[in-house]
């Protein structure tokens, strides 16, 4: 009998308040418990992408888009220092002689740095013979992948994970990652608690100031900064694509990295010789889809995510979820989702109310006087409106959603 444990979107970060998963001691204990349960049977632990949150790990206080092996190793060192229990538990599993033990790390859009041979070597030095199969892994009639390849914002050409820049291989970043690094991550130290609250569109309705801040930041980026870098050829990761033009309008104004993977994987299991079970992460929302005796499991996430109440209060955390699969040789016998309430929420991990974010961004919002001093032309009507909304001025039309009766309006 083979037992597989498949976890995605743990998003262990560099420690500190911006870390979305400060619970590696708890995780280590859970993993070791699976080894105890497996006993003499095979245990295969698959970390299905976004295990490490390298995307949101700064190097010397910055978020470089030119990611060399050196930059990647600097990120890994920080994550290792912040999560010793995780690495110790994985090492203990690989050293467990009670039965066959395997551990694999698949690539996600937050941990593409795992593609560097030097990063893989460093992790093997820490934990032992871990496997790095790339974007997907097939075990008998089971197919596992993170899912970002079906998400236009984060798709990477598997044949061109690296691009040569100044004679050095650097990660070939999808445009979604570049935009996040350039625009959203410099705001991360102000917005990290808010970033953990869902549903995103409702959160931004209650704090339109944040929506306007982000929309303006992205607007300036796409209309000015991005294009100038593109024409100057200053950054090898800035290339135009129609997907980008299409998706940016829809995904503008959000820090969120998870959205949609369409029905690519449902079609995959419907193929005549398709896998019996397909396991997908990236969406941060657990779900099960079945067709005949085939199924797609979306495993959800382990990073901290919270649910906003209709009034903007935040009192509930999403359960942590992953998949467990039992196999006989190459045949899947059972594939199930596991939900776990997780360890107690770390102090300071989330706001009590989404509008608690406002003091964090006060200094980024112009006063009416500053606005007047800018002497904006007619072309800048969009900016003018956004700044006016941010300053709490009433505007005609659908954008002035915040009524004067709102107890939280500033
Ligand atoms: Mn992802």
How far is the C-alpha of 212 from the C-alpha of 50, rounded, in Å? Answer: 28
How far is the C-alpha of 191 from the C-alpha of 214, rounded, in Å? Answer: 11
Whole-number pLDDT of residue 397: 38
Whole-number pLDDT of residue 193: 94
Low-confidence ranges of the chain (pLDDT < 70): 223-260, 366-410
First-to-last CA distance in the chain? 61
How many angstroms does the Cα of residue 1 sit away from the middle of ligand 1? 30
Residue 29 CB partners (closer than 8 Å, separation 6+): 89
How many angstroms does the Cα of residue 258 sit away from the middle of ligand 1? 6
What DSSP state is assigned to residue 183?
Answer: I
How many angstroms does the Cα of residue 109 sit away from the middle of ligand 1? 5
CATH number for the domain formed by residue range(s) 2-173+262-354: 3.60.21.10
Whole-number pLDDT of residue 274: 86
Whole-number pLDDT of residue 272: 81
Whole-number pLDDT of residue 409: 34
How far is the C-alpha of 290 from the C-alpha of 101, rounded, in Å? Answer: 30
How far is the C-alpha of 94 from the C-alpha of 223, rounded, in Å? Answer: 50
Enumerate the domain spans of the chain.
Answer: 2-173+262-354, 366-390
How many angstroms does the Cα of residue 224 sit away from the middle of ligand 1? 28
At 106, which helix (H) or strand (E)?
strand 101-106
How many angstroms does the Cα of residue 405 sit away from the middle of ligand 1? 39
Whole-number pLDDT of residue 375: 53
Whole-number pLDDT of residue 4: 98
How many angstroms does the Cα of residue 155 sit away from the middle of ligand 1? 11
How far is the C-alpha of 43 from the C-alpha of 100, rounded, in Å? Answer: 6
Whole-number pLDDT of residue 210: 86
Count Cα atoms within 13 angstroms, Cβ side, for 396: 0
Q: Can you give the length of the chain in residues?
A: 410
Whole-number pLDDT of residue 226: 63
How many angstroms does the Cα of residue 374 sit away from the middle of ligand 1? 39
Whole-number pLDDT of residue 379: 41
How many angstroms does the Cα of residue 317 sit away from the middle of ligand 1? 19
How many angstroms does the Cα of residue 144 sit away from the middle of ligand 1? 14
Rg (CA), the chain: 22
Of 257, 301, 298, the closest CA to residue 27 belongs to 301
Whole-number pLDDT of residue 168: 94
Neighbouring residues of the ion ligand 1, judged by CB less than 5 Å: 50, 108-109, 282
């Amino acid at each position: 009998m083979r037992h597989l444990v498949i976890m995605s979107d743990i998003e262990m970060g560099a420690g500190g308040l911006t870390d979305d998963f400060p619970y590696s001691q708890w995780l280590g204990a859970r993993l070791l418990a699976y080894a105890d349960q497996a006993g003499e049977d095979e245990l295969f632990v698959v970390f299905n992408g976004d295990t490490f949150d390298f995307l949101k790990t700064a190097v010397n206080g910055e978020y470089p888009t030119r990611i060399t092996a050196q930059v990647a190793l600097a990120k890994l060192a920080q994550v290792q220092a912040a999560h010793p229990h995780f690495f110790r538990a994985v090492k203990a599993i690989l050293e467990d002689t009670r039965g066959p033990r395997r551990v694999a790390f698949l690539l996600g859009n937050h941990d593409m740095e795992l593609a560097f041979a030097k990063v893989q070597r460093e992790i093997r030095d820490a934990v032992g013979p871990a496997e790095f199969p790339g974007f997907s892994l097939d075990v008998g009639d089971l197919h596992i992948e993170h899912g970002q390849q079906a998400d236009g914002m984060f798709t990477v050409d598997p044949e061109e994970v690296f691009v040569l820049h100044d004679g050095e291989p650097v990660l070939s970043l999808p445009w979604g990652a570049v935009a996040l690094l350039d625009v959203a991550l410099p705001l991360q130290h102000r917005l990290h608690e808010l970033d953990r609250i869902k549903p995103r569109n409702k959160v931004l309705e209650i704090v339109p100031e944040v929506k306007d801040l982000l929309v303006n930041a992205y607007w300036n980026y796409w209309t000015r900064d991005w294009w100038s870098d593109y024409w100057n050829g200053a950054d090898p990761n800035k290339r135009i694509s129609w997907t980008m033009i299409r998706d940016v309008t829809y995904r503008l104004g959000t820090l969120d990295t998870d959205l949609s993977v369409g029905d690519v994987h449902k079609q995959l299991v419907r193929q005549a010789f398709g896998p019996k079970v397909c396991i997908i992460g990236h969406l941060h929302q657990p779900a099960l889809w079945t067709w005949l005796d085939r199924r797609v499991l979306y495993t959800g996430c382990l990073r901290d995510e919270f649910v906003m109440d209709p009034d903007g209060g935040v009192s509930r955390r999403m359960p942590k979820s992953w998949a467990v699969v039992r196999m006989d040789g190459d045949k899947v016998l059972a594939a199930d989702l596991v939900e776990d309430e997780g360890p107690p929420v770390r102090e300071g991990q989330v706001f009590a109310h989404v509008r608690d974010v406002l003091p964090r961004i006060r200094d980024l919002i112009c006063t009416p006087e500053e606005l007047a001093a800018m002497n904006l032309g007619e072309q800048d009507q969009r900016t003018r409106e956004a700044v006016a909304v941010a300053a709490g001025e009433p505007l005609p039309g659908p954008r002035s959603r915040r009524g004067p009766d709102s107890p939280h309006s500033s």
